[in-house]
Structure 1
Amino acid sequence: MNLLIVTANDRPSSQATSPKMYEAFMEELKNNDNVNVTVYDVYQEDTPYLGQDIFNAYMKLEAHEPLTESEERLFNAQKKARDLFEAADTVAFVFPLWNLTIPAKLQTFVDYVFAAGYTFKYDTEGNMIQLMNDKKVILLNARGGVYSTPEMQPMEMAVNYMRTSFGGVMGMEIIDEVIIEGHNQDPVNGEAIVAEGLEKVRAVAKNLK
């Protein structure tokens, strides 16, 4: 299996939980000979925001016209993300909840691949056709508060967004999901909450094949 890991937190693991999840996932994958791993760190990669430059670039390429520096930068960034995404059988996203949603850098990666004509298209009758629904997705998320209760669920726009984007619109199967939550809200039990979650992360990595 070709596994692409998209990690989205540049804080050290001594200060944040989703980096701990990433480290635990990677450590366990060393023992899994069934998986070829590629890592895309949104904070290490050049990820300019998607905008008009990409549309200009595609029009110029079609017309065999030279690109500006900013157009070429954005085109190359999107192409790299898409090439890695296409090559993967499974994509694992490791990310925090920040201000009720995903980090902007991760949003940019999603913007690179969430596109009509790429991951989905419309037929002549306006029906959406999913183009990469054979891919699998893993979601590994950390959030310091508790958002799984009925009154808090509507405020959670990180995991819900990723589920809707990749599982809903793109039709990919979400094969595993680990959410570590409440460790900041409950500092007395915080370490135990994180430790239990990391064991679940290791189990996901161990079971991949």
Structure 2
Amino acid sequence: MNVLVVKANNRPASEAVSSKMYETFMENLEGVNVTTYDVFEEDMPYFGQELFNAFGKVQSGEEMTDIEQRLLSAKQKAMDALTAADVVVFAFPLWNLTIPAKLQTFIDYTYQAGYTFKYDENGNAVQLMTDKKFIVLNARGGIYSTPEAAPMEMSANYIKNVAGGVYGMQLINEVIIEGHAAAPDQAEAIIAEGLEKVKAVAKGLSAVTA
């Protein structure tokens, strides 16, 4: 089994719960081929017109600029990592109601017609990654699981809508640690309980290959 872990927080685990979730998952994972794609360590220029310019220059044979070359290389590396994976683990925080911009860039690189989805003859989207599975490891300091706050949560929901809804991957596990900032007197217990769930997810994935 090839496991791709998309790490999307560059804050230390002593300060960031989603970083600690990543570390806990990795420490308890055995018997699989695991690769970390750290969106903060990779060279990932933001998606924009430069990428479309690069596509055009590939077709025409024109010489590309440095940023255009970097974009094509970065996009291909992200796609290659996703292609090779049987299971994709997203470890990320909720920042300002959504995902970190670097994680958004990974999605932008891989959200491509003909690769992760396609359109059929009637114009309907068809999922192209139904052979893959994914896991969500998400941390958010506030409480967003209530009916009132749930519509505002655009990090875990977004990743599930993209990886599951558009790409067609099967969600096999989800661990969300929330409320540790809102209830600091309970933070230690909240985080500890969540990390035990992360351990169980990692061990469960390891057991599949045993």
TM bracket, shorter-chain basis: over 0.9
Moved over 3 A (4+): none
| Alignment partners' CA distance in 2, 1:22 and 1:183 | 17
Aligned to 1:27: 27
Aligned to 2:55: 58
| Alignment partners' CA distance in 1, 2:89 and 2:59 | 33
| 1:7-86 map, 5 Å | 7-29=7-29, 32-33=30-31, 35-86=32-83
Aligned to 2:124: 127
Aligned sequence identity (%): 63
Residues 1:139 and 2:141 are matched in the alignment: no
Following superposition, the deviation at residue 124 of structure 1 comes to 2.1
| Alignment partners' CA distance in 1, 2:127 and 2:56 | 24
Following superposition, the deviation at residue 169 of structure 1 comes to 1.4
| Alignment partners' CA distance in 2, 1:2 and 1:113 | 18
Residues 1:175 and 2:176 are matched in the alignment: no
Over the aligned positions, Cα root-mean-square deviation in angstroms equals 0.9
| Alignment partners' CA distance in 2, 1:65 and 1:89 | 37
Residues 1:193 and 2:187 are matched in the alignment: no
Listed one character per residue, the Cα deviations across residues 88-125 of structure 1 (whole Å, up to 9, x for unaligned) are 01100000000000000000001111111210111221
Following superposition, the deviation at residue 83 of structure 1 comes to 0.5
Aligned to 1:184: 181
Q: Which residues of structure 2 form unaligned runs of 5+?
A: none
| Alignment partners' CA distance in 1, 2:176 and 2:77 | 28
| Alignment partners' CA distance in 1, 2:16 and 2:120 | 44
Following superposition, the deviation at residue 65 of structure 1 comes to 2.6
| Alignment partners' CA distance in 2, 1:184 and 1:70 | 39
Residues 1:3 and 2:3 are matched in the alignment: yes
Amino acid at match of 1:3: V
- Residue of structure 1 aligned with 2:204, choices 195, 202, 207: 207
Aligned length: 206
Residues 1:166 and 2:163 are matched in the alignment: yes
How high is the TM-score relative to the length of structure 1?
A: 0.96
Tell me which moved more, 149-158 or 163-172.
Answer: 163-172
| Alignment partners' CA distance in 1, 2:130 and 2:62 | 34
Listed one character per residue, the Cα deviations across residues 157-181 of structure 1 (whole Å, up to 9, x for unaligned) are 0011111111111111011000000
Following superposition, the deviation at residue 135 of structure 1 comes to 0.9
Instruction: State the secondary structure of the residue aligned to 1:204.
Output: helix
Residues 1:102 and 2:99 are matched in the alignment: yes
Following superposition, the deviation at residue 134 of structure 1 comes to 1.1
| Alignment partners' CA distance in 1, 2:100 and 2:118 | 27
